[in-house]
Amino acid sequence: MAVTVFLGLLGVAAAFFVYQTFLRERWIRNRKFPTDWEAILHQNQAVYPRLSSDQQSRLQQLIHLFLADKTFYGCAGLVITDEMRVTIAAEACLLVLNHDGAVYPGLRFILVYPSAFRAHREQHQGDGTVSEEGYDLLGESWSNGKVILSWDDVTHGVKDFDDGHNVVLHEFAHQLDGLSGSTNGAPPLRSNSYKSWARVFGDNFADLQQRSAHNLPTLINKYGATNPAEFFAVVTETFFEQPRELQERRPELFEELCRYYRLDPREWHRGSPPS
C-alpha cells in the first residue's frame, strides 16, 4: 500500500513538473520580441530578411528559449553584448527552426573569444611519447554542455550566407550530432531512415576523402574528410548556405538533409547569385 501511494505521489510530482515546464516554455515563447533585437537580426543576419514572416516569428520564439537557458561568457577580455547573444542564438536556432522539443537541451555555456583562439592538444607519437601542440581555432563544440566561438568569425559567417562557411552552423551541428550520445555524424533521426542515412552519408564521405586525397575540386569543404562527425558539420554549412549547388551535385545527400532539418533552404537563396 505504501509503495502504491509513493508511486502515485511520484507520478503526480512528475506530471506537475512537466506541466510547469510547459507553462514556462509557453510564457518564454510568447514574450514580445524586443525591437532592438530585431534590428540586430536585420543588421547582422543576412538570411533573416529572406525568411517568411512565419519563419521569422518561429525564429524569434526559439531565440527567446535559447537565451533563457544558456549563459554567455566573454574570453580574453571580450565583453558580451546583446548583439553577440542575439546574433549567435539566431544562427544556432536556424538549425532547429522546424524541430520539436527542447532547444539544445544539453548546452549550457557559450564562450566567445574576440578572434581565433589557441587550443592545446596532446599528440601521441609512434614511439609512445606524448607531445603538446597548439592550434588556432575558430570554434569548438564540447560534449560537456559548452560551445566556444570566435566573434570575428561569427560575424563573417552570418553576414555572408552564401559562401558555405559558417562557424555557428558548424559547431551547433556538432551539438545536434551529440544528442545521440556520441558525436559520430549520426544524430538522432525522426524523418530519415537510418539505413538510407548511413548509405548516403557513407558514400559521400568516402567520395570527399578520395577527392581530398587526390586534390580534386569539391563543393564541400575538404575539412569534412577528417571524420564522419566533421563531415556532418561541414555539409550542414553547405546545405544552408549553398543549397542549390548541393542539390545539383549531391541530390541524395541534399534530400537526406532536407528530411533531417525539415526545411528547404533553397527558398532563402532565390535570386542570389550562385557561388
Radius of gyration of the chain (CA): 20
156-192: pLDDT as tens digits: 999 999 999 999 999 999 999 999 999 999 999 998 9
Q: Please give the average per-residue pLDDT across 255-274, as a whole number.
A: 86
35-86: pLDDT as tens digits: 999 999 999 999 999 999 999 999 999 999 999 999 999 999 999 999 999 9
pLDDT band at 125 (very low <50, low <70, confident <90, very high): very low
Residue 113 lies in a domain: yes
Residue 173 lies in a domain: yes
Q: Please give the average per-residue pLDDT across 199-213, as a whole number.
A: 98
Residue 125 lies in a domain: no
Whole-angstrom Cα distance, residue 173 to residue 238?
12
Residue 54 lies in a domain: yes
Residue 192: give the domain boundaries: 28-117+130-268
The total number of structural domains that make up the chain: 1
> Which three-class secondary structure state does DSSP give residue 140?
strand
Residue 123 lies in a domain: no
- pLDDT of 198 > 50? The answer is yes
Q: CATH number of the domain that 234 lies in? A: 3.40.390.10
Residue 94 lies in a domain: yes
Whole-angstrom Cα distance, residue 84 to residue 72?
9
Contacts of 143 (CB under 8 A, 6+ apart): 106, 178, 183
Residue 205 lies in a domain: yes
C-beta separation of 189 from 200 below 8 A: no
Residue 225 lies in a domain: yes
